[in-house]
Amino acid sequence: MNPEGLKSRFGNRVAFWGGINTQETLPFGTPDQVRAEVRRVIDILGADGGYVLNSVHNIQDDVPTENILAMFDEARAYRRTPGA
């Protein structure tokens, strides 16, 4: 799904949960790609609040542990640029 479109269309009426891809990014991406995706999704869905970071669906056993840790570590370290 298109997070920009979803946030634009529904962002003032719903809270979003998930957004981190469990079919491509988490199982097949590198930890750096996972971190970049986490920042991207937080920037989009988290703008003005209303976002809970998580995977799109349950994390399956084909996801490297390093990628799961990268997802949560990046979320913990994330800081929005002031004024953004």
pLDDT in tens, 27-56: 999 999 999 999 999 999 999 999 999 999
Distance, in Å, from the CA atom of 55 to the CA atom of 46, rounded to the nearest integer, reads 14
- Looking at residue 83, its pLDDT comes to 52
In percent, how much of the chain has pLDDT > 70?
A: 94
* Amino acid occupying residue 75: A
pTM of the model: 0.88
Average pLDDT value over all residues in the chain: 92
Rounded average pLDDT over 57-62? 93
Instruction: With a cut of 90, say whether residue 5 has pLDDT above it.
Output: yes
- What φ, ψ does residue 55 adopt, rounded to 5°? -75, 160
Residue 51: its H or E element:
strand 51-55
Delimit the domains of the chain by residue range.
3-77
